[in-house]
Structure 1
Amino acid sequence: MKGYCRFAALAALLSFTAVAPLFAQTAAPPYEARLMRLSEIVGSVHYLRTLCLKTDEGWRDKMQELIELEATDPERRARFVAAFNKGYRSFASVHRKCNSVAIEAEELYRKQGLELASEIIARYGN
């Protein structure tokens, strides 16, 4: 069984809990749009947590792991990177300093990311 934990690491990072692995697929998965949104959310959270906590916390590394596991071709890889960068840049263009709005946005996006990762796992996982 070729299980892939592409969401497990990400969801664990978002929720700090373990998540069941998913089955591998060869074509673009039916959850592709959700996966791209999750990548965008991770980019946003990465920027905001780095801004407010002054530490990387491995968000970029976890996104890289997800890309390496999920992106089977250069075009798909580029979509992952673009989604992550879109999330990162959208907050970088607005928030230059950590404030209550940035903290609230980070909390909201982290919760959305956890819900989205959990939904993908629940619907498409084993």
Structure 2
Amino acid sequence: MSRARARAGALLLAAALGLVAPALAQDAPPPVEPTPAPAYEPDLMRLSEVMGALAFLRDLCGDADAPEWPARMQRLIEAEGETRAERLAGAYNRGYRAFALTYRVCTPAAERAIAGYLVEGERLSRSVARRFGG
């Protein structure tokens, strides 16, 4: 390779690096900080699990309010917005599946579970509303 050609190649390489270097040196955007979870989130997640359990159990036992539980959960998800929608739905599904895996018919144990979950759900709802409601 001639000296002139080598020099031209070196100049082209330097020019190319000169063009690329400023692009590499640009400041990266600052990392997006996750929105901190509200203080009531653990109670809301548990309430979602309870609602899932009640959705399954109330339907299994033929209770008239069975269709209300999925609708209530949908309203909760809509009220909380999409930032927590996936976690809330996951908690609801865990509560639902926990009983769907073991119960095929309504039993006295299922009725006792319903009674306990109704009390717990009411307590959680009131607690969140009292402590964190607007």
TM-score range (shorter-chain normalised) is 0.7 to 0.9
Deviation at 1:57, TM superposition (A): 2.8
1:18 matched residue in structure 2: none
Deviation at 1:53, TM superposition (A): 1.2
Structure 1 segments of 4+ aligned residues over 4 angstroms from their partners = none
- Provide the rounded CA distance (Å) in 1 between the counterparts of 2:49 and 2:133: 21
Is 1:107 the counterpart of 2:115? The answer is yes
2:88 matched residue in structure 1: 80
Q: Which residue, 53, 68, 92 being the options, matches 1:44?
A: 53
Unaligned runs of 5+ in 2: 1-34
Is 1:69 the counterpart of 2:58? The answer is no
Q: Which residue, 74, 98, 104 being the options, matches 1:96?
A: 104
- Provide the rounded CA distance (Å) in 2 between the counterparts of 1:35 and 1:54: 24
Unaligned runs of 5+ in 1: 1-25
- Provide the rounded CA distance (Å) in 2 between the counterparts of 1:34 and 1:54: 25
Structure 2 CA distance for partners of 1:118 and 1:54, relative to 1, 3 Å: closer
Is 1:117 the counterpart of 2:125? The answer is yes
Q: Percent identity?
A: 41
- TM-score, with normalisation over the residues of structure 2? 0.68
- Provide the rounded CA distance (Å) in 2 between the counterparts of 1:92 and 1:58: 18
- TM-score, with normalisation over the residues of structure 1? 0.73
- Provide the rounded CA distance (Å) in 1 between the counterparts of 2:79 and 2:128: 16
- Asked which structure has the greater RCO (Cα within 8 Å, sep 6+), the reply is 1
CA RMSD of aligned residues (A): 1.6
- Whichever of the two has the greater Rg, that structure is 2
SS at the partner of 1:115?
Answer: helix
Structure 2 CA distance for partners of 1:28 and 1:92, relative to 1, 3 Å: same
- Provide the rounded CA distance (Å) in 1 between the counterparts of 2:128 and 2:61: 29
Q: Which structure has more helix as a fraction of its residues?
A: 2
- Provide the rounded CA distance (Å) in 1 between the counterparts of 2:37 and 2:82: 9
- Provide the rounded CA distance (Å) in 2 between the counterparts of 1:38 and 1:45: 10
